[in-house]
Chains A and B, each alone.
Chain A
Amino acid sequence: MTILALIVFGLIVLWMSVYGYVISSKTSEDYMLAGRGIGILVMFFFMLFSISSAWTFYGYPGYLYTHGPGYVFFIWGCVAGFAGLYMFLGPRVWAVARLNRFLSPVEMMSQRYESKALRVILAVLLLAFIVPYVGIQPLGVGLGFEALTGMSRMFGIAYTVVLLLLVVFLGGMRTTAWVNVFLGLVYAATFLGSLVWIVAKVFPGGLSEAAQVVAQNRPDLLSAPGPEGYFSHVTIAGLLIVGMLAFSWPHVVIGTMTARDKLIFKWLPLLAIVAAGFLFYTIPFIWGAIVAPAISLLPDTLVPPMSGKEADNVVQVIITQYLPRWFSTFVLMGVIAASISTAAVQLMTSGILVSRDLIHGFFRPDATDRQLILWTKGAIVALLLLTFGIAAWNPARLADYLTSVSVPGFAQWAPCLLGAVLWRRGTRQGAIAGVLGGTLVLVAGYIIAPGNAALLGKLIIGSLVLNGLLYVVVSLVTPPPSAEVQSRFFDEVDDFLSVEV
């Protein structure tokens, strides 16, 4: 039954990928940025489910389950960060990319700061931190597959990698966006459906009954700093800051470049706050902070308390133990949908960074459109193999990949990204100094503070402060950007954005 369902699911994805390939215009702009023609509805699904991944289904609830509700501040920061991206930064990134036909945000940065060195630094930096994030997607499916079938997680990992290859290799960014609509619907239906069903079945008194079970047996799971003392006041505030830096996630920034028109940036904040903040992200919170711990604390529970990396599985294990097997299979498809919808966008972004910014930017500036597409596809295959290796290795908890590795890494380009479109005075020297200084502190943190979450958290925040300070101070003491750059990135954009919609 499970295998049959996975085959049918895979065939649907295959059909969408082939259809996307057939209707595409086979240009690099079409393959990489969906012809800059994504409308509001598809854009919403595209973005929401490019950031809602296996982490949302497993890592986030698993962390709440073991450490209490303080972690939710990362989500509040993320919602504010995404809304802020569309409110403040998105229109200008979209406009400058459209006016200058930029295919990658790093290409935009190198032109803004007139620096090829910065292009390499940013491309390598973003690739280094996006690959672990892609790696957790197949891993999430592998964990779900293991929990559901008892078979090795490698089957689930391999299945996801093959589907990913189909979507990004054949279809490109447009198919990725369209597949995200389908996958997002499957994901949301399974995630919400499983929660409603479990609560109705196990807690007839509703969520209040579940919360009371936790409050009476483990009140430390409903307050800070949590059972293991992770969430001090400073840590919670730090999580909010790290979450707000979501505006700098490269696969989200590149999404703004695919928008059809500037009206999209008027409506997307509404969807980010209401649909994502109030509705969608409430589901994993209720799962991880209330329902899952309450079930584990019941006297006749089928799912005794779990800890460590094992807790990443808690939602799937509960569903498998309490709901019919056919529904567990349906939920696994939701996890696969979540994983693919995120990893596909990340892989497209990574492939573009390799082909457009590293190969085309340096070694083959005279490359044809066809070569650019081929290199992007080649990079995607190589990155997929790397991803497969990381997923098989599985060195850390899912939540740690995101909040301790990928997001702090992405944030290292945040100051110069902001300055690129909002601050005329930001200079090449300031951008390079900030990115290198911040990244060095971050990497030093990984070397000297493994396993010490508090120290690592301080170093992550310290790296961002240093990065921002270096960017501003060095920019102010070095010559301003050329008049041509200021005109292209500010005056022309101002004029373009002020035209009647």
Chain B
Amino acid sequence: MREIVGHTAGKIFLLVLLVSVVAMFLVPQYFYEPRLVFGWVPLPFAAGIAFLCVWLVAYLIYFFFYWPFRR
């Protein structure tokens, strides 16, 4: 973490993760109707999959192009 906040790419990475977490705090307001995505996926599950997609993309870009421990 100390290494990650030490450069711009790391700060952007952390910002993306933070925004995704804030979004997860906001989305439950839409869970009060029984909506099914693709005919079988309940909305709380779909929201989590979207959340993990954001984390995955951010992780892949940051850890494989800007990993702070490699010099």
Q: Which residue of A lies closest to B64 (CB)?
A: A266
Q: Is B40's CB under 8 angstroms from A236's CB?
A: no
14 contacts between A and B (CB under 8 A): A69-B31, A70-B44, A73-B24, A76-B47, A76-B51, A76-B52, A79-B52, A80-B21, A87-B63, A208-B39, A223-B42, A274-B56, A289-B45, A422-B1
Which residues of B are found within 8 Å of A69, using beta-carbon distances? 31, 42-45
Chain A 374-418 near chain B by CB (<8 Å), digits 1 or 0 = 000000000000000000000000000000000000000000000
Chain B 13-38 near chain A by CB (<8 Å), digits 1 or 0 = 00000000100110011011111101
Q: Is A277's CB under 8 angstroms from B67's CB?
A: no
Which of A72, A210, A240, A494 makes the CB contact (< 8 A) with B45? A72
Query: Is B4 located at the chain interface by the 8 A CB criterion?
Result: yes
The docked-state distance in angstroms from the alpha carbon of A262 to that of B3 is: 14
The docked-state distance in angstroms from the alpha carbon of A270 to that of B60 is: 8
Which of B21, B29, B31, B40 makes the CB contact (< 8 A) with A290? B40
Of A13-21, A52-60, A127-135, A214-222, the segment with at least 4 beta carbons within 8 Å of chain B is: A214-222
Nearest CB on B from A156, distance (A):
31
The docked-state distance in angstroms from the alpha carbon of A233 to that of B35 is: 16
Which residues of B are found within 8 Å of A220, using beta-carbon distances? 34
Which of A215, A285, A501 makes the CB contact (< 8 A) with B70? A501
The docked-state distance in angstroms from the alpha carbon of A69 to that of B1 is: 33
Query: Is B49 located at the chain interface by the 8 A CB criterion?
Result: yes
What interface size band does chain B fall in? 35 or more
Which of B24, B25, B42, B59 makes the CB contact (< 8 A) with A87? B59
Which residues of A are found within 8 Å of B51, using beta-carbon distances? 76, 80
Q: Is B34's CB under 8 angstroms from A88's CB?
A: no
Which of B2, B52, B60 makes the CB contact (< 8 A) with A422? B2
Which residues of A are found within 8 Å of B33, using beta-carbon distances? 223
The docked-state distance in angstroms from the alpha carbon of A73 to that of B48 is: 7
List 12 additional A-B contacts (Cβ < 8 Å) besides A222-B42, A499-B71.
Answer: A69-B31, A69-B44, A69-B45, A72-B45, A73-B28, A88-B4, A222-B35, A233-B29, A277-B48, A289-B42, A290-B42, A422-B1
Q: Is A76's CB under 8 angstroms from B48's CB?
A: yes
Q: Which residue of A lies closest to B33 (CB)?
A: A223
The docked-state distance in angstroms from the alpha carbon of A241 to that of B40 is: 27
Nearest CB on B from A285, distance (A):
6
Identify which of residues 419-461 in chain A touch chain B, using a CB-to-CB cut-off of 8 Å: 422
